[in-house]
Amino acid sequence: MTARPSPSDRPFPRTLVPVQELHDAPLAPLTTFRLGGPATRLLTATTDAEVVEAVREADAAATPLLVIGGGSNLVIGDKGFEGTALRVATKGFALSGTTLELAAGEIWTDAVARTVEAGLAGIECLAGIPGSAGATPIQNVGAYGQEVSSTISEVIAYDRRTRETVTLPDAECAFSYRHSRFKAEPDRYVVLRVRFELEDAGGLSAPLRYAETARAMGVEQGERVPAQDARETVLRLRAGKGMVLDSEDHDTWSAGSFFTNPVLGPEQYAAFLARAKERLGDEVAPPAFPAPDGGTKTSAAWLIDRAGFTKGYGTGPARISTKHTLALTNRGDATTDDLLALAREVVAGVHAAFGVTLVNEPVTVGVSL
């Protein structure tokens, strides 16, 4: 990695902002997969003004831009990224009553811990999710019965189309399951700040929506528990599944869940159920949850497992996690091509077994499944 503060021999305009700048910078260390080739140029911005200036500069030069937070939901191709990679490393945690404002670069799980310490409820079950606060609205991050869309009140973002900073109220963010307006228009918004409206329940959590969490805490679904206990229980459950980052544990060299849970329309669901019964017997009962518009959400982990890709599957450098069927992992010396080969094998196997096409959850850069 070569650091060149102000290069004049590169086809980029000289940056006007005091951002940290590197050339031919490896991106793999910036991702939780530890995969991907270099970026032509890597900037690290530590203030909103630097973020906006860097984006404006890249756009003015028509240079492709890749925004990076914690790199925990990114699959970057082995050839890397030809353009400007912008690492958002802004800081800012402001809590006023129940209103929380986070700078995009804040570490999400640390922010969750601080809200719980402050006795507030609403995001305690999202503890342990890696990455930055600014990325949470992108795929409407969710786990253990909570999603950020329930507590986000506003997202402040730089709009690359209008070249202005805009404040988008929750209702304009088009949040749905692992999706949002920001994901739908990937090259338009750069999130600068996220505002949340939390709940003061006297130190108690929000009602527990997820059966596994309630069971682990010995209460009924819908009950409240001390928010700190809910957070710690979630962290323990997550760690058991390799869903909390641990650099020593290759099961966490992943992007978490690699596939989203499929949402099937009535006809698709009926066809899937028939295939499942044919394959696994009439008694089979695949997980099924009601989804919007009459759809049914089933479990990607169940499909993968029942198609024969069990925990630890694989013999190469990219394998299924030994702790969770839904996480594809780098065992240490994988390439992105290895990872994609495994992902394609799983997609093809699940489709052959059940007629359902899995869709990847992480964002792919320069590659596709």
Ligand X SMILES: Cc1cc2nc3c(=O)[nH]c(=O)nc-3n(C[C@H](O)[C@H](O)[C@H](O)COP(=O)(O)OP(=O)(O)OC[C@H]3O[C@@H](n4cnc5c(N)ncnc54)[C@H](O)[C@@H]3O)c2cc1C
Half-sphere exposure of 350 (CA within 13 A, CB side): 24
Residue of 188, 186, 117, 126 whose CA lies nearest to 152 = 126
| Residue 128 beta carbon to ligand X: minimum distance, rounded to whole angstroms | 7
Of 42, 100, 243, 276, the one binding ligand X by CB under 6 A: 243
Q: Does 217 bind ligand X (CB under 6 A)?
A: no
d(CA 102, CA 94): 7
Binding mask 345-364 for ligand X (x = CB under 6 A): ------------------x-
Q: Which of residues 255-294 bind ligand X (CB under 6 A)?
A: 255-256
Which residue, 174 or 271, is less far from ligand X as judged by CB?
Answer: 174
Q: Is 178 a catalytic residue?
A: yes
Span of 5-13, 62-70, 114-122, 283-291 interacting with ligand X by CB under 6 A: 62-70
Distance of CA 260 to the CA centre of its chain: 11
Least spacing, CB of residue 107 vs ligand X, in Å: 9
Please indicate whether residue 278 is annotated as part of the active site: no
**Residue 86 near ligand X by CB under 6 A:** no
Q: Collect all residues with Cβ–Cβ distance below 8 Å to 315 and sequence separation of at least 6.
A: none
Buried b (16+ CB within 10 A) or exposed e, 181-198: bbbeeeeebbbbbbbbeb
Among candidate residues 257, 306, 319, 321, the one labeled active-site is: 257
φ/ψ of 45, rounded to 5, equals -110, 135
Q: By CB under 6 A, is residue 85 in contact with ligand X? A: no
Residue 52's H or E segment, with its range, is helix 48-60
Q: Is 345 exposed, middle or buried (0-12, 13-18, 19+ CB in 10 A)?
A: middle
Contact 190, 54 (CB under 8 A): no
Q: Using DSSP, state whether 236 is helix, strand or coil.
A: helix
Q: Does residue 25 contact residue 39 with C-beta atoms inside 8 Å?
A: yes
Query: With binding defined as CB under 6 A, does residue 40 bind ligand X?
Result: no
Nearest-approach distance from CB 97 to ligand X, in angstroms = 25
**257 carries an active-site annotation:** yes
- Interface pattern 96-125 for ligand X (x via CB under 6 A): --------x---------------------
* C-alpha gyration radius of the chain: 21
366 interacts with ligand X by CB under 6 A: no
Question: Does position 46 bind ligand X by CB under 6 A?
Answer: no
Where do contacts with ligand X occur on this chain (CB under 6 A)?
A: 32, 67-74, 88, 104, 129-132, 134-136, 138-139, 141-143, 189-191, 243, 245, 252, 254-256, 363
Active site residues: 178, 257, 361
